[in-house]
Amino acid sequence: MSLLLEGKRAFITGGTRGIGAALCEVFAREGADVVFNYNSRDDLAENTRSRIAAYGRRALSYKISVTDRVGLKKLTRELVETWGGIDILVNNAAINRSNNFATMTDRAWDEVIDTNVNGLFAVTKPIYKQMIRQQKGTILNITSIGAIRALPTAVHYATSKAAVIGFTKCLSREASNFGITVNAIAAGLFDTDLAHTLPDHLLAMHDSWVPQGRLGRPEELAEYAAFMVSERNSYMNGEVVIVDGGAVT
């Protein structure tokens, strides 16, 4: 059987750690050339590039914020010139801040919404336009189970991830006219830096909710994501798939 993503060109946001790094590695293993962005850690970016290259795939990285609209437009033009286009976009990058709503500052709210919602627009718009020109492509957005269920997560984070769901569903209808699919994964708690910002008592509660009694591994989500963006998943569009270990809440 051929690789899931043989010959595909993928752009993944937030590719240096956690789920993003796992996505880069699994996609490369499945045959894709991978480009990713990151904010600060050059050493982690080099590590991700090395893992991609180890599978014989092309690897590129850009040190650029997902909120840099001008820079992302330039990045997309460069990718089209270099690689001829982008077949797959995974909007993975996100931030969270541990805040109660009553004590949340304006700055904290704006920071989370800007990265998680405005960043979604800034990354997707130029890549979506080039997908329209090539009349094909697939977009996968990583949202959160916290956008669907009343979990003890920060209000600004849950709000931003609920926006990702609305973005996914509405854009999927428009995109289908151009041979483009748009879906999302609502992730539960995975063993990432983001999850470990939660208090210990909440992590312990989570383990009691999940039948397997543990956090998910980033590669477990990445394996399913690779199928979702592959041509073997050709009939799914506008869906939000929950990957949370079967948590009972």
Length of the chain in residues, anyone?
Answer: 249
The one-letter amino acid at 109: W
Q: What distances in angstroms separate CA 129 from CA 123, 132, 206, 239, one per listed residue?
A: 11, 5, 40, 21
Give burial (CB, 10 Å; 0-12/13-18/19+) of 143: buried
Please say if 157 is a catalytic residue: yes
Q: Looking at 38, 157, 224, 235, which residue is catalytic?
A: 157
Least Cα distance to 24 among 73, 62, 70 occurs for: 62
In the sheet that holds 137-144, the strands lie side by side as 59-63, 33-38, 9-12, 88-91, 137-144, 180-187, 240-243
For the chain, the straight-line distance linking the first and the last C-alpha, in angstroms and rounded, comes to: 39
Active site residues: 157
